[in-house]
Structure 1
């Protein structure tokens, strides 16, 4: 049974980080039309190992992205996290807490530099910061909402990604952190993306450290001086919010992003198809080869052994942007072979953190947008963790030609 205090603190987190509705709440993406409705769903999810106390980054006043609708874009979500190669992530250390401290020390050295730089910019009050409660830091740039009249679905994705990448490069150059690329994720390809709600329990961290840990808001000034011990102390309880945490929307950022969206490639040029068309799903289902089952995929995609290997990895979805890119690669390669949607869903079913609704939504979105198969070169550049290199004839052949 939750207390009124817990509910109010979660409501404050929603009001400051999710100010418009409706949104999707929890891992299962339930519709919530008010903060109160979302808070109830989220608090119920806190102690459920099969669920997450998440909320969508954006609201959907015109309908969800799975139906081709552009959400209310009013912020950019930046994720700073311990790299996949970190000691703590490896799970092979004898003292997990000591490994966490070493990895977090490295992350916070970089986070402090980023925070100090942002404090010197013209609008530091436009940035929000949240400690995930485990090993991450979420930073948001807030701006007035971008009118959906400025572009189609793909233009929004391409324009936001273009702006996010430029912002990341600007931060790297300004801070001199050449290796920040290993710690930062600014990918905005999924406009239906979920995020952890401020002032909610992080169940994984709580179990890992043997005490309750929470996702909590902090200020840029606090981040600018933060050490691992501060991170631990702050994430031990929910936090009351005041005016320091309410952002001032950045007008200039909205202007620049709007131009990026207007000038971005539309669906036809970016995906090889045309605009978002849900009717493509029905056409695809009718044309798919119903004889292809999960057991046939190894043969059907024998020239791409990395796809079959992906389904056997316990860490398939533990590599942030790399996992996202490879998921897209696997789906578009199966689409190219006419694999039935149900077979694709079954392909992902055995993976940790599998969510059938999310998986089906991703598949149908790519089909509706007419995506062409992602190139192997993209995997080599964007998701090298999943490339089998010499075990793949395509990779070996390319290296031989070079």
Structure 2
């Protein structure tokens, strides 16, 4: 008995399935390296990918050794065909599980159709085992060629019924899936159907298994992208909530709690050779601005002064809205009084120019506590800066006064 020579279509199919195996191996590696999903979800996807790999390997073996003489070829064809059919039933159950996990519905609400799909898969595998001894579904002849058995239609009806049940589940709960993932899951039903239709026009090539593998890669790729987008949205929401918790909504500066905490951390970590300046800034006669120009004008100047103070600072400095018309600034890179005074005068000059441009009288008083060395508390620095602010107000406003705090070491 001579072996059947493979034609061009068979070689083409084997080549497709080989590259399908390579793609599945690549996807398995990506799954193992991914940290964006739960361990259970990762295991399920790995099992589905491994099922695809085994499906294609056994289909290739079945094609290579069909019609090949010898006992070894007989068992290889027999075993590979058994695994091809069995894996299709197993994958049907795995898809059901994947679909349900994607829906994220509590376990106590699992529909009976899921268990029906599991049952159909088990029945199909049991019939395949029985067929190895009776040939009721298929058999391998003396020439190592595959033939359908008298009850082959039963295995197809079981698979069709399972697919229909899965399709009804998908359609019923489609609104609980993101649209891209829903369409990706539809490929599990559409691509194998197209492959079956193609078999009518291209005799000798069976692409159903390839279609199953391709639909798996589509589903997992879309699911990965969907998880990435959801993770990004979660991170963005967390960062946004964190920003809102620490920042003043009107000015965008740190709020009082966050700003003072950061200042406290810095001051308490100062070394003996460090210097810093704590500024208390207050808008003079702010009530008059609100009363004469309106609250919208008051808000405008609160934001403008916040912007000027922020521009005054470096990336290491800290500025916050203390409350109402008051601000607190910690300048960490000012080493001498002259540099400090230059910064303050620059701020006041810019504010004066903006006020003149709007033909309004807006100015600030500033109290400064210059901090030298280590061993200081934020409370002491705030008291001195507040006292210096009171001095500036008492001297006629629109100016600044300074007090110093020497090292305790």
Band the TM-score falls in, shorter-chain normalisation = under 0.3
- The structure, 1 or 2, with the larger RCO (C-alpha pairs under 8 Å, 6+ apart) is 1
Output the TM-score relative to the length of structure 1.
0.22
Richer in helix (by share): 2
